[in-house]
Chains A and B, each alone.
Chain A
Amino acid sequence: MRLLGLAISCCVLLMDGLLIWRGVRSRCVRLFPLFFAYILYDFSSTGGAYLVYWVQPSWHASVYWFCYVLSIVVEFAILVEISDHIFQPFPAIRNLGRSLTILIAVALGLTYILPALLSSRGMRPALLDFALRASLTKAVILAALIYAARHFGVRLGRNVAGLMLGFSIYLGVNIANFACVERFGDLYASILWVIAPIAYTLCLLVWTGALWEYAPMPGTRAALPAAGGDSEALVLELARFNNALSRFLHK
């Protein structure tokens, strides 16, 4: 089991390195700065934890858990990156993704995560609860982004679609996994612990494939011919639609 853990960590380090290398080569680093900042953080924290394990084994557990809790928070950066990219080509809804992400994160953070943290007894249940509820919050944000993209008929590019797919696999497995920890405590400690790292490795594999090279968003509609892409004209058109609907509502 220890060997398996080491092998998975090595895989994660390798994939992180590969992602960063490909990101630099394909110039995706400049286009997805938050995502690559997260990958860099993951690479350095995994490598750092390794280093501590060999140099000062007694510190390893503390360093690992500190990095783990921090990564739960830092993972929200991936959602911000995804939400920015989905609607970026469309001026009318450019801020929709980030607004949804922040609104849902704050709302669920205050009503779902924080009360559970404040009422939990002990470090272990608090940490488990935090990881589970944060994963669910991220899944809700992803589902909302998927719904919004589908509602407006937005087609996703390969890069963003890959980011969403990989992260969804990781989050889905995490939710089921953390929920099972409490129920199958002993079984989890011996066998099931391996599920989360394997899901993360799978997620990294999807991300590497998706970000191997830059792919622009497909099938975007051309700018308004009369407006010449001017956002003021777009405001005018949107206002016209709103006025037509308002007139209808007032009947």
Chain B
Amino acid sequence: MITLVYVTIAIAFLVLVLVFFTRAKSKDPDQGVTRNDQAPHFGDASWLSLSECIFDPSDARWLRNELSFPELALSLTRARKQLAIQWLKALQVSFNTLVRTTALSPHQNPGANSLESWRLLWLTVRFQFFLSYALMIVKLFGPYHRLIPSFTWIPFLKEGESPQRRSLLASSGDLD
């Protein structure tokens, strides 16, 4: 049985490698990426305000609670979910394009293992981690779900907790 598992792994590995090299040969990384797939520069305020609209639940609430159109609210939430996923993917495409920025010359990197390189890698990995997390949450729970879990379910936080301590706990989870 274990032999079969290893042989399957070996075949799967070889297939993966062959697929990767066949696709890599035929496809340019930026091929098929339109301007709409990329996030505009961060100076573009309208693009950032678009995200405010996408992730703002007030429209859906208004439709459901005040106009009593729960189905329409649900439909809006679904559409916003797709938009949110597209927004996050556009952010990822732009980030990956930035990551593929090369040094001016390959010999211009004497400090390849310098602190700066590690700092850049940290920023890259951190972004990829949080973006994957955000994408997962939006795909699973929709665009209006809290991305940082609430700690109100912890009993000692519910009662007798000073506002200062709460804000301290909130800031300890600060990602910046």
Contact = CB atoms under 8 A, between A and B. Distances in A.
Interface of A: 88-96, 99, 132, 136, 139, 142-143, 146, 150-156, 161, 164-165, 168-169, 171-173, 175-176, 178-180, 182-183, 219-224, 228-229, 231-232, 234-235, 237-246, 248-251
A229 B108 contact: yes
A96 B20 CA distance: 19
Interface stretch (B7-15, B59-67, B73-81): B7-15
B23 to A, nearest CB: 8
B147 interface: yes
Given A221-B102, A228-B104, A95 B118 contact: yes
A238 B13 CA distance: 33
Interface string B1-44: 01101110111011011001100100011100000000000100
10 contacts: A89-B106, A90-B103, A96-B124, A150-B24, A176-B6, A179-B5, A221-B102, A235-B123, A238-B95, A250-B175
Contacts of B68: none
- By size class, the interface of chain B is 35 or more
B99 interface: yes
A144 to B, nearest CB: 11
B13 A143 contact: yes
Contacts of A161: 21, 24
A96 B3 CA distance: 33
Given A132-B6, A245-B91, A248-B55, A146 B101 contact: no
Given A143-B13, A172-B14, A224 B101 contact: yes
Contact of B116 (A139, A182, A235, A241): A235
Contacts of A242: 123, 126-127, 130
Residue picked from A146, A154, A242, most chain B C-beta under 10 Å: A242
Nearest to B20: A146
B94 to A, nearest CB: 8
Contacts of B17: 142, 146, 164-165, 168, 172
Given A153-B96, A221-B100, A229-B104, A146 B121 contact: no
